[in-house]
Amino acid sequence: MNYPHSGFAALISLLLLAPTHAADWKQADGPLKTRWAKDVTPANALPEYPRPQMVREDWLNLNGLWDIKLGDSPETKILVPYPIESALSGVMKHADRMTYRRSFEVPKAWGTRQVLLHFGAVDWQTKVSLNGKLLGVHRGGYDTFSFDITAALNADGAQQLSVEVFDPTDLGGQPRGKQTMRPGGIMYTPTSGIWQTVWLEPVAKAHIDSLHLIPDLDGSCLRLTVAGSGTVEAVASDDGKPVATISGAAGSELKLAIPSPKLWSPASPHLYDLRVTLKSGDQVVDSVTSYFGMRKIALGKDEQGVTRLMLNGKFVFQVGPLDQGFWPDGIYTAPTDEALRWDVAEMRRLGFNCARKHIKVEPDRWYYWCDKLGLMVWQDMPSVNSYTDKPQPIDVPQFQTELTRLVRNHWNHPSIILWVIFNEAQGQHDTEALVATVKALDPSRLVNNASGGDDKKCGDVIDMHNYPGPGSPKPEAERAAVLGEFGGLGLAVDGHRWAAANWGYKGTQSMEALTRAYEKLLVNAWRLKDSAGLSAVIYTQITDVETECNGLLTYDREVNKVLAGRAAAVNSGNLPPQPVIKQVVPTSQQEGINWRFTFDAPAADWIKSGFSDAAWKEGPGGFGTAATPGAVVRSEWKTADIWLRRSFEWTAVDAGVPALFVHHDEDVEIYINGVLAGKADGFTSDYEEMTLTPEGLAALHPGSNVFAVHCHQVSGGQYIDVGIITETAPSR
């Protein structure tokens, strides 16, 4: 599939017309930058054609230096299309109101054609004027919008463009995803103002408004609808050779026969080229190039009668990362197109066949790279009131409007296979009606009503979140089972952090430890495919984001924190030999083991072997509250702290390395014979291996030994239980 970088002459004229104040502008010094930041200048800010599925030859890119006024502050320079909060914009400040200004000249070669002004996306409410004449107002932070500016143009010379933006961020009831004015945890720096390409193109009065492309494998055709007025001629090509043609009236569905179609899949992401021409009588009035992939996504039954996600009639187990789409230097906006491509290519290199674009919408070119490189996409709708203690009244009509635009703007991309309407019950409302709306708009794809949230028994999948996991919901007769989030293994890398403070759902200490833990999670996920009927898993996450350091890559994309070959193998289902694990000091998971315990802080020597715990209470493990995930509670513990002791017998092992086997929620310290043997913050949702400290391992001796354990509760569920396993590593 060949797609032109069109309009070279128009792009050169943009560079000649760009404001000449580059000396007054520079990138801001942000906390962290990517390798691509050095390539960003006023002369080349995202110069690529922004709409790869409807390409015209003539266009003019308006990216570059603009004037901007934030609130009542003095006017300064900004590099469009990077949001005002980003280092790449040169501003790196937030304001809820801002006004952009720039001038441009319409190329004389465009003659008397009408001129359209396009915005890729502006967050959030946008008022656009040209030469003092109001063009219109747009509300919505994630969708493209356009104005016909012909009537507002001066006869010649400079045209004065003004863009006024209001962005309430988390003080409004509009979709905003992970943006907040109080970044931290799983919420991040906001994006305000222009954050995607701004551009012009000339068109005839009668022109192609849009294309709707639906691959129909059952009918061996592409169903094509061209919005416009006139006669349509369409030619599909493969490797430069025409394979199908059709003509018919604009506005009607045309069936472009594709004999023996080459199918699109992650293993073979084949794309056909498409040229669509619009005629008025015998005169060609418009022509665009596009592309499409022939693929089918649907539910079906496997050989065991389990409901599955079927790609082209076959069950493909989907393994992908959660992709937040944030950048340390551009926030919502990737520094370059090469950076966008790199992210997609790296996910494919790591063996992923899908990704979940998490409550954010990308520019068209990200989906283009997914189409081209073969990455299936779960596309989330950005949520309202994400993780806030001050929820705003939901703007219900606006949510439905933006959801409809999301589907219509991106429904031609073969990579998108699933629409996700809500995430973890954030701003969830009218679920059944919205599922019906999306299914009616786009019956060619599947719909997830609520990923990890309040499942309303509708849509095509039942989705659970399980950290670290994995786990699986039970597949239903009409819905496939998916694991919408799991994992979250953390590892902070010095020199590649957004801030000194960082966190992950479960910490690891090294690349090797992270890789081993990741392999174990994915092995168990693949086992759930057969044992539980699981159809897909989404691992949290592909990159670190700000203080959240549970990515497989650092936030600046410089360090791959897992050993890539091993991660790619397990992601692809090439499972490594598993170690032989034996419980040598049992936990209370299967049968209650008695411990001495107290809820009151003991004397300082409580960890010593000779300490008398005779006055402490006695009861069987584990200790906690019943609703804690993965807990086997036999003795209730609901205070902030618990101290535990028990004796156990130890016999030297012939094979394998001893390790602690722990389920803790939350912070835990484990001593053996008075020596610190293990320590961890945070929580687990199951029993997991914890490496013994060298001192703790040395403290073990044949005969009687003593565990002393302290667990501290912070919030939510709570649980503690401890044992020892031996692990014999397999030969690789």
Each residue's pLDDT tens digit, 411-421: 999 999 999 99
> Cis bond leading into 589, ω under 30°?
no
Residue 4 has pLDDT above 70, yes or no: no
Residue 1 has pLDDT above 70, yes or no: no
Write phi, then psi, for 238 (nearest 5 degrees).
-130, 115
Across the strands, what pairs with 548? 503, 545
Q: Which H helix or E strand runs over 222?
A: strand 221-227
Residue 12 has pLDDT above 70, yes or no: no
Amino acid 152: pLDDT: 98
Amino acid 21: pLDDT: 56
> Distance (Å, rounded) from C-alpha 292 to C-alpha 274?
7
Amino acid 657: pLDDT: 85
Range among 17-21, 174-178, 678-682 with highest mean pLDDT value: 174-178
- pLDDT bin (cut points 50, 70, 90) of residue 731 is low
> Distance (Å, rounded) from C-alpha 428 to C-alpha 450?
8
pLDDT, tens digit, for every residue of 213-246? 999 999 999 999 999 999 999 999 999 999 999 9
**Domains by residue range for the chain, with CATH:** 8-203 (2.60.120.260), 210-292 (2.60.40.10), 581-728 (2.60.120.260)
* Mean pLDDT computed over 525-550: 97
CB atoms within 10 A of CB 542: 24
pLDDT, tens digit, for every residue of 44-83? 999 999 999 999 999 999 999 999 999 999 999 999 999 9
* Mean pLDDT computed over 382-410: 96
Mean pLDDT of the chain: 94
> Distance (Å, rounded) from C-alpha 1 to C-alpha 238?
7
Higher-scoring residue by pLDDT: 577, 473: 473
> Distance (Å, rounded) from C-alpha 311 to C-alpha 308?
10
Enumerate residues 6+ apart whose C-beta is below 8 A from 3: 52, 55, 273, 289, 291, 368
Share of the chain above pLDDT 90, in %: 88
Report pTM.
Answer: 0.88
Higher-scoring residue by pLDDT: 11, 413: 413
Find where tokens 């003092």 sit: 132
Amino acid 2: pLDDT: 44
635-636/623-624 β-pairing: parallel
* Mean pLDDT computed over 325-330: 98
Amino acid 727: pLDDT: 81
- pLDDT bin (cut points 50, 70, 90) of residue 14 is very low
Residue 521 has pLDDT above 90, yes or no: yes
Amino acid 235: pLDDT: 98
pLDDT, tens digit, for every residue of 543-566? 999 999 999 999 999 999 999 999
Residue 688 has pLDDT above 70, yes or no: yes
* Mean pLDDT computed over 481-509: 91
